[in-house]
């Protein structure tokens, strides 16, 4: 650690952490050093989306933001999606529709889809594809991911009606 | 399906994957997620120039930098006395095999060549110190084109191959082809290029090496499709450690598509550094490093000719290809463009005479090796382009022309003129399923109507067959392979009745833990919940060959089934003894051995497992324990096949290609899990469409890679790909223990020629008869203006 280290605090999935980081450490690196290894390093250039997390309710690519920029922020990662060991509807639908293979893009894909589904009403498949454009997957060809997101939207709409 | 009398219904069921939950919750452990105390970090100095002599490497500045523990050069590795040779795994007649070292010593031969290794306390420090490694070069001529490499007078990549020819390979009967061409009514020709592709597994290659000075043992976590092959190559090729002192662990692996088969310098350097320092060493490729060093695929320049009669009969095929191998021979870099390519040139058709020549050329570029569909993709692309070109030459509908030449179901086993014996197939029926699904005849009418309106709809149909599960070992050996074609499994009951399936394949997303458990559940009548499939650790699974070439379900699954059947037979002996019946009088169903005619006298196989480990009451000639090992060496490849159809609309004004509909009908023999088969087909289609329309690794005139980042190489996004329609037909492999053929590569093989065919079909009225991949708006625009 160099002498320029900065002490910051990050609240990750509701747990507060205080940590020393180099100014050049990206948020992704800081999260992984804290043990949140769900978000993955894929491209180092903000292209693949495997590192997607939510910072103060907005999805970002955590390889493009310095950890010091997130000082004091509330961060949500894939580790926070399941509650008390119960998969979220979106996670369940990914499993049911075989929306993942190697799983490396999945944490980022889930975070993007989860955020999108907060506001999306009855999205079309084309709209879902647009929403996931920032997340690359090399295994699935996307079809089953779109299925999973589409059926989650339907499930959530049914849930709200009830 | 499985022989005999057991069925729990697991085989063939669309069971959700067991492996998903950890991957969905962020709990999955990939190589870069493993942590060890005291880990140091490795960064590798790349040449940065495509070709040059190394005059001097000065590490002093780097050594003095913050946190740097050690800086090593190629000389240091040489002086350490390790064998330092990354081996080729497939010999060919006349093959030139220059030494491929872990770190370069005399020269650099592509931009990604490793020149020095920096180990530091943090990853940042290691990377910073790369700037402090000063290398002086005498730059040499660089070139990326395989034809230029062998035909022009250039300074060779290796002194051992002055003309840059690594091999000059021939397959088939040249005289018979000459005769066929002379006798045929017409000859059609196509010149084509199949560009370099970068596999782009989402997880970059990574390694964590931990050498223990006291025990002399190396533990190596790495992104591997074949940990046992890596163990063997690291032992015999680079590090010289005894094989039993190396443990290779491939935890979750984030995609491979071929790129994680190979022994690259980097993982060996990581290990070697740990051996020098006695501390754990971690390395992870940046994406740019991956693009410079992960083996690329394809890179073919081909002239292909087809001889046909006016009645639509194919009489012969002649192919000449320059295959770029890159700067070094990767393990299967020689086999991929030779035996895996030329042998599939008959496609689905009865072609009496075939000849194929392949010139393997060194170029100052990233090494080329197998990428999903390896060799078969390139070969099927050639024959399917020829079928389209010939159909047009004859004025026949491309489907009708194909139909006239397809091998009939009653002709199997079918020996082709390209040296393969296809095991089984029903090509025409499967093609008809695809045509029916998409409504081919109506589409042709619609196409004609749209053409009247000045719109360009194209319908592409491609047929494929694939040689999957390279085998048998003996034949592979005769052809030059340095490894076998078998797979190994141990099926082991624990004493309380739970079951473990150990197998030498290694998953990178294919869902082995689920499909292999389905096989074992089916064979032994044990609940899926009681089965654990173990892969990816050479200390837990004694032997294996790994996952590549669509082999895991057919060869790995075959080994599991055979081991499970042997377990069942031993259990039958014990059951018969304890039930006081003859083994022949026992029926086996849902895990229960029952005395025929006395159904209340029964024992469950899991109870017998307990008895087997107690050993209190066993037949005299039966040893305690209940586990069996099987090495399954198939008697032949399996031959999956199918037909894919794409409908595209092309706008000649903008050059845009829109895929309106895509249907893939695949026959992979018996299906273990339809959900997973569909997933493999989807992903394969995506990579094939990527190749057809978007992807290529581009080099400039001086062999600098231009596509170095993910925003420069077009890995397709969700918006660039369509929904896929899929269906399956089932033609079992007659020689596989499960009737399985494999499906990992099929759709990639099918999709590229399908999409190219569709675009070219759309542009027929404009006189376009072929377009090279990737077909971009620019290439369409030029072609429709007669500039192709």
Alpha carbon separation from A79 to A76, A97, B254, B397, B682 (Å, rounded): 8, 21, 18, 55, 28
In 3D space, the residue among B707, B48, B703 whose CA is nearest the CA of residue B363 turns out to be B703
ipTM: 0.98
Range of the domain at A107: 89-161
For residues A20 and A58, membership in a common domain is answered with yes
Work out how many CB contacts closer than 8 A connect A with B.
176
Looking at every residue in chain B, the average pLDDT score rounds to 97
Confidence of residue B6 (pLDDT cuts 50, 70, 90): very low
Burial tier of B429 (Cβ tally within 10 Å: 0-12, 13-18, 19+): middle
For residues A65 and A109, membership in a common domain is answered with no
For residues A96 and A74, membership in a common domain is answered with no
Structure tokens at B722: 């369509």
CA of A72 vs chain B CAs: smallest distance (Å): 23
CA of B17 vs chain A CAs: smallest distance (Å): 7
Question: A interface mutation test: which of B202, B253, B666 has the most A CBs within 10 A?
Answer: B202
- d(CA B368, CA B198) in angstroms, rounded, equals 10
pLDDT at A159: 86
- d(CA A54, CA A10) in angstroms, rounded, equals 12
Question: A interface mutation test: which of B18, B20, B291, B719 has the most A CBs within 10 A?
Answer: B20
pLDDT at A4: 85
Alpha carbon separation from A96 to A82, A157, B9, B127 (Å, rounded): 16, 18, 19, 42
In 3D space, the residue among A81, A63, A61, A66 whose CA is nearest the CA of residue A12 turns out to be A81
Chain B residue nearest residue A82, CA to CA:
B25
Contact by Cβ (8 Å): B108, B115: yes
pLDDT at B8: 63
Looking at every residue in chain A, the average pLDDT score rounds to 96
Confidence of residue B338 (pLDDT cuts 50, 70, 90): very high
- Do B16 and A95 count as a contact with CB atoms less than 8 A apart? yes
Topology of domain B20-28+486-632 in CATH is Aldehyde Oxidoreductase; domain 4 (3.30.365)
- Do A78 and B23 count as a contact with CB atoms less than 8 A apart? no
- d(CA B97, CA B83) in angstroms, rounded, equals 15
- Domain positions in chain B: 20-28+486-632, 34-140+202-255+260-293, 297-470+636-783
pLDDT at B465: 98
Q: What is the pLDDT of residues B575-589, one digit of tens each?
A: 999 999 999 999 999
pLDDT at A162: 55
CATH code matching the domain that covers B34-140+202-255+260-293, chosen among 3.20.20.30, 3.90.1170.50, 3.10.450.50, 3.40.50.1580: 3.90.1170.50
CA angle at B334 for the pair B328 and B340, rounded to the nearest 5° = 145
Chain A residue nearest residue B508, CA to CA:
A102
pLDDT at B3: 38
pTM over 0.90: yes
Q: What is the pLDDT of residues A21-31, one digit of tens each?
A: 999 999 999 99
CA of B80 vs chain A CAs: smallest distance (Å): 32
CA of B682 vs chain A CAs: smallest distance (Å): 5
Say if residue A122's pLDDT is above 80. Answer: yes
Q: What is the pLDDT of residues B225-243, one digit of tens each?
A: 999 999 999 999 999 999 9
Task: Give the residue-averaged pLDDT of B721-747.
Answer: 98
Say if residue B787's pLDDT is above 90. Answer: no
Topology of domain B297-470+636-783 in CATH is Aldehyde Oxidoreductase; domain 4 (3.30.365)
Alpha carbon separation from B60 to B64, B127, B130, B275, B348 (Å, rounded): 6, 15, 11, 22, 61
Helix (H) or strand (E) holding B456: strand B456-465
- d(CA B487, CA B554) in angstroms, rounded, equals 10
Say if residue B1's pLDDT is above 50. Answer: no
For residues A40 and A97, membership in a common domain is answered with no
B69 secondary structure, DSSP code: E
Say if residue B2's pLDDT is above 60. Answer: no
B664 beta partners: B644, B726
Nearest CB among A43, A102, A142 relative to B509 is that of A102
- Do A91 and B24 count as a contact with CB atoms less than 8 A apart? yes
Contact by Cβ (8 Å): B766, B707: no
Nearest CB among A43, A106, A138 relative to B24 is that of A106
Contact by Cβ (8 Å): B71, B118: yes
- d(CA B252, CA B27) in angstroms, rounded, equals 10
Confidence of residue A1 (pLDDT cuts 50, 70, 90): low
Say if residue B461's pLDDT is above 50. Answer: yes
Confidence of residue B203 (pLDDT cuts 50, 70, 90): very high
- d(CA B158, CA B99) in angstroms, rounded, equals 9
Helix (H) or strand (E) holding B777: helix B777-783
Does A127 contact B at CB distance below 8 Å? Answer: no
Q: What is the pLDDT of residues B355-392, one digit of tens each?
A: 999 999 999 999 999 999 999 999 999 999 999 999 99
Q: What is the pLDDT of residues B39-95, one digit of tens each?
A: 999 999 999 999 999 999 999 999 999 999 999 999 999 999 999 999 999 999 999
Task: Give the residue-averaged pLDDT of B638-649.
Answer: 98
CA of B299 vs chain A CAs: smallest distance (Å): 21
Q: What is the pLDDT of residues B155-186, one digit of tens each?
A: 999 999 999 999 999 999 999 999 999 999 99
Task: Give the residue-averaged pLDDT of B117-142.
Answer: 98
């Amino acid at each position: 650690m160099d002498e320029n280290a900065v002490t910051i605090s990050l609240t990750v999935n509701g747990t507060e952490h205080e940590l020393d980081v180099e100014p050049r450490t990206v948020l992704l690196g800081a999260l992984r050093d804290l043990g949140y290894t769900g978000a993955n390093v894929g491209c180092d250039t903000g292209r693949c989306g495997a590192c997607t997390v939510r910072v103060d309710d907005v999805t970002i690519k955590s390889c493009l933001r310095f950890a010091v920029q997130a000082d004091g922020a509330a961060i949500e990662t894939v580790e926070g999606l399941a509650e008390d060991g119960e998969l979220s509807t979106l996670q369940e639908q990914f499993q049911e529709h075989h929306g993942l293979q190697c799983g490396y893009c999945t944490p980022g894909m889930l975070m993007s889809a989860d955020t999108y589904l907060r506001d999306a009403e009855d999205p079309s498949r084309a709209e879902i594809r647009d929403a996931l454009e920032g997340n690359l997957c090399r295994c699935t060809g996307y079809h089953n991911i779109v299925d999973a997101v589409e059926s989650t939207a339907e499930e959530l709409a049914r849930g709200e009606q009830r | 399906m499985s022989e005999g009398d057991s069925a729990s219904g697991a085989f063939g069921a669309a069971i959700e994957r067991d492996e998903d939950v950890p991957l969905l919750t962020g709990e999955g452990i990939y190589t870069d997620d493993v942590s060890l105390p005291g880990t140091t970090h490795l960064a590798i100095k790349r040449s940065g120039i495509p070709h040059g002599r190394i005059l001097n490497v000065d590490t002093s500045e780097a050594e003095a930098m913050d946190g740097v523990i050690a800086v090593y050069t190629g000389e240091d590795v040489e002086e350490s006395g390790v064998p330092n040779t990354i081996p080729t795994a497939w010999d060919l007649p006349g093959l030139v095999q220059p030494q491929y070292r872990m770190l370069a010593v005399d020269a650099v031969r592509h931009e990604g060549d490793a020149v020095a290794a920096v180990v530091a306390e943090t990853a940042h420090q290691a990377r910073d110190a790369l700037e402090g490694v000063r290398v002086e070069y005498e730059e040499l001529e660089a070139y990326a084109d395989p034809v230029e490499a062998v035909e022009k007078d250039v300074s060779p990549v290796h002194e051992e191959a002055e003309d840059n020819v690594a091999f000059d390979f021939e397959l088939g009967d040249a005289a018979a082809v000459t005769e066929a061409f002379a006798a045929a009514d017409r000859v059609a020709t196509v010149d084509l290029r199949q560009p370099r592709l970068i596999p782009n597994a989402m997880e970059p290659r990574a390694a964590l090496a931990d050498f223990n000075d006291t025990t002399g043992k190396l533990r190596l976590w790495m992104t591997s499709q074949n940990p046992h092959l890596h163990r063997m190559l690291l032992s015999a090729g680079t590090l010289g450690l005894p094989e039993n002192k190396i443990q290779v662990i491939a935890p979750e692996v984030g995609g491979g598509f071929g790129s994680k088969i190979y022994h690259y310098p980097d993982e060996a350097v990581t290990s070697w550094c740990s051996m020098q320092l006695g501390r754990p060493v971690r390395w992870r490729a940046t994406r740019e490093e991956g693009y410079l060093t992960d083996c690329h695929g394809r890179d073919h320049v081909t002239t292909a000719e087809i001889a046909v009669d006016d009645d639509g009969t194919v009489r012969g095929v002649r192919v000449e290809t320059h295959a770029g191998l890159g700067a070094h021979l990767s393990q299967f870099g020689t086999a991929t463009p030779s035996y895996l390519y030329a042998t599939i040139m008959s496609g689905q058709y009865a072609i009496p005479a075939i000849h194929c020549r392949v010139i393997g050329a060194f170029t100052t570029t990233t090494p080329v090796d197998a990428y999903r569909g390896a060799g078969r993709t390139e070969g099927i692309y050639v024959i399917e382009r020829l079928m389209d070109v010939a159909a047009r030459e004859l004025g026949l509908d491309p489907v009708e022309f194909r139909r006239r030449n397809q091998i009939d179901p009653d002709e199997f086993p079918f020996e082709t003129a390209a040296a393969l014996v296809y095991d089984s197939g029903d090509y025409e029926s499967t093609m008809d399923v695809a045509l029916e699904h998409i409504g081919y005849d109506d589409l042709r009418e619609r196409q004609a109507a749209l053409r009247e309106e000045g719109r360009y709809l194209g319908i592409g149909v491609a047929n494929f067959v694939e040689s999957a599960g390279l085998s048998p070992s003996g034949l592979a050996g005769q052809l030059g392979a340095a490894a076998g074609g078998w797979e190994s499994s141990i099926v082991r009951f624990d004493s309380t009745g739970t079951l473990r399936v150990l197998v030498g394949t290694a998953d990178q997303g294919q869902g082995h833990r689920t499909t292999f458990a389905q096989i074992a559940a089916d064979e032994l009548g044990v609940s899926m919940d009681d089965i654990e499939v173990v892969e990816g650790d050479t200390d837990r699974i004694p032997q294996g060959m790994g996952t590549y070439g669509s082999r895991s379900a057919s060869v790995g699954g075959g080994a599991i089934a055979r081991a499970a059947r042997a377990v069942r037979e031993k259990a039958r002996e014990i059951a018969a003894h304890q039930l006081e019946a003859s083994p022949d009088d026992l029926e086996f169903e849902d895990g229960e051995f029952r005395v025929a005619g006395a159904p209340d006298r029964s024992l469950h196989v899991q109870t017998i497992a307990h008895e087997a480990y107690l050993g209190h009451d066993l037949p005299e000639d039966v040893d305690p324990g209940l586990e069996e090992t099987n090495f399954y060496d198939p008697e032949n490849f399996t031959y999956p096949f199918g037909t894919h159809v794409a409908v595209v609309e092309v706008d000649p004004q903008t050059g845009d290609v829109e895929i309106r509909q895509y249907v893939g009908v695949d026959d992979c023999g018996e299906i273990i899990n339809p959900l997973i088969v569909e997933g493999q087909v989807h992903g394969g289609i995506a990579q094939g469409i990527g190749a057809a329309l978007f992807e290529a690794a581009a080099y400039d005139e001086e062999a600098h890679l231009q596509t170095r980042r993910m925003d420069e190489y077009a890995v397709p996004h969700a918006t660039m790909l369509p929904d896929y329609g899929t269906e399956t037909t089932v033609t079992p492999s007659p020689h596989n223990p499960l009737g399985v053929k494999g499906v990992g590569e099929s759709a990639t093989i099918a999709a590229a020629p399908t999409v190219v065919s569709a675009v070219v079909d759309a542009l027929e009225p404009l006189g376009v008869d072929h377009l090279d991949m990737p077909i971009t708006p620019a290439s369409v625009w030029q072609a429709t203006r007669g500039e192709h």
